[in-house]
Amino acid sequence: MTNNFELYKVFYWSAKTGSLTQAAKALYLTQPSVSHAIKQLEDSFGIPLFYRNSKGVELTQEGAVLYSYIEQSHILITLAEEKMAALKNLDSGELRIGGSDSLFKHYVLPYLEDFHRKFPGIKLHLNHGTTPEVITFLKEGKIDLGVVRMPIVDSQLEVRESFQLQDCFVAGARYAELKDTVLSLEMLLRYPVILFSRNSRARMAITEIFQSYGHTIKPEIEVGSVDLLIEFARRGLGISYVTREFVSKELEQGSLFEIKLDVPLPPSHVGIMTMRNMPLTSAARRFIEIVR
């Protein structure tokens, strides 16, 4: 038996064309090379695969059995090569992205629209989760890349900084008396505060900021989405900590206003996260190029 697939390729074209000469032309080989390859294959099986005749060659009964399998293999290999070409050219395939609902809605969506318009054959799969969950998705191979808030410290991951956001506290009409007031962090804590879930990167960031000034921030309400942070603040249930860019419409319309503080809140950075030293798919590479 042989594992030399080049011999099977010679066998396939010899059987398909019925001519060693034509097989040699198709494979860019010399005819003696083709004859030698056929002999090697026949010797490995211990049975003749071809009859020689005046027109060329004809399969023996055993050769016909082998050809029925090799033909199927050739078809599958051809399809695989076509599939690889389609993936390279982004005619087909998939793009799997992990991120939070808010980043998908307010940041990633325009880039996805652009990508889908350029490459409609690529299927899009979005996996929603917090930053720790997205990191897990990536390490388990469930996504190709993640869109997350930084910093990310993990030797297995590579993060390309993409853009920055500015977080702030906002309130609705119920707290209108605070519109022209500059609050200290201590004064802010006298009001009910609404924060995102405990394991979110934004929650960790604001907790660290308050701790750096010697305060502990304890939310009156915790929610699991930015939409709820916005809606709860708009309805007067408290003062929400949100990303300014995500509430630009509400701030412009006046249904929310930004709380002024006597200390600056540093901007947060968002990055594209991938596995270090792991090759990216063509679709993932192209999407990163669009985002950057």
Does residue 58 have a pLDDT over 90?
yes
Look over the chain and give the mean of its residue pLDDT values, rounded to a whole number: 91
The answer to whether residues 124 and 199 belong to one domain is no
The model's pLDDT over 11-32, given as tens digits with 9 standing for 90+, comes to 999 999 999 999 999 999 999 9
Collapsing DSSP states into helix, strand and coil, what is residue 123? Answer: strand
The set of long-range contacts for 210-219, using a CB threshold of 8 Å and a minimum separation of 24, is: 210/185, 213/185, 213/263, 215/185, 215/186, 215/189, 217/189, 217/193, 218/189, 218/193, 219/193, 219/194, 219/195
The answer to whether residues 159 and 172 belong to one domain is no
**Beta bridge partners of residue 126, listed in sequence order:** 97
- The domain in which residue 182 lies consists of 167-266
Domain CATH number, residue 237 = 3.40.190.10
| Percent of the chain topping pLDDT 70 | 99
Residue 3: per-residue pLDDT: 62
Does residue 94 have a pLDDT over 60?
yes
Identify which of 144, 135, 129 has the alpha carbon closest to the alpha carbon of residue 99. 129
Does residue 49 have a pLDDT over 60?
yes
Please check whether residue 56 is in contact with residue 42, taking contact to mean a CB–CB distance below 8 angstroms. no
The answer to whether residues 159 and 281 belong to one domain is yes
Identify which of 79, 75, 59 has the alpha carbon closest to the alpha carbon of residue 67. 59
Average the pLDDT over 260-281 and give the result: 91
Please check whether residue 290 is in contact with residue 111, taking contact to mean a CB–CB distance below 8 angstroms. yes
Beta strands in the chain (DSSP E): 50-53, 56-59, 94-99, 123-128, 145-149, 157-165, 167-171, 182-183, 193-196, 221-223, 239-243, 257-258, 260-261, 268-275
Q: Which amino acid is at 35?
A: S
Residue 101: per-residue pLDDT: 86
Average the pLDDT over 144-162 and give the result: 91
Domain-ending residue, one of 41, 61, 88:
88
Using CA atoms of 273, 278, 279, 285 in order, give the dihedral in degrees to the nearest 10.
Answer: 0
The answer to whether residues 46 and 175 belong to one domain is no
pLDDT-derived band at 161 (thresholds 50, 70, 90) equals confident
pLDDT-derived band at 57 (thresholds 50, 70, 90) equals very high
The answer to whether residues 205 and 260 belong to one domain is yes
Collapsing DSSP states into helix, strand and coil, what is residue 268? Answer: strand
| Total domain count, the chain | 3
Please check whether residue 23 is in contact with residue 13, taking contact to mean a CB–CB distance below 8 angstroms. yes
The answer to whether residues 80 and 103 belong to one domain is no
